[in-house]
Amino acid sequence: MISDSHLRTECFNVLIDHFGYLDTERFVVMMSRSPEDYTSWHQRHFANGETVRELGEKIKAFAAAKRQNATA
């Protein structure tokens, strides 16, 4: 088992590599403001067997479509 500090660092690195600094910060703020706990959020979003990577791809596609609609 790795230390909490190492786990936190590695998780942030994954988020930053995949989403960039700004969206990682937005995610952290969103999660910290949420009135529900992470376990219930995770169960609601991943109960269907969807992976984090699949959810990330959906988020990226949604953001790209939103940007495209804003410039149209």
Give the alpha-carbon dihedral of 33, 37, 43, 46, to 10 degrees: 30
Domain extents for the chain?
Answer: 4-71
The pTM of the full predicted model, rounded to 2 decimals, is 0.48
Confidence of residue 63 (pLDDT cuts 50, 70, 90): confident
Confidence of residue 22 (pLDDT cuts 50, 70, 90): very high
Average pLDDT over residues 37-58: 77
- The encoded tokens of residue 66 equal 């939103």
With a CB cutoff of 8 Å and minimum separation 6, the contacts of 34 are 41
Which one, of 36, 28, 32, 29, lies nearest residue 11 by Cα? 28
Cα 59 from chain centroid (whole Å): 8
- Number of Cβ within a 10 Å radius of residue 16: 14
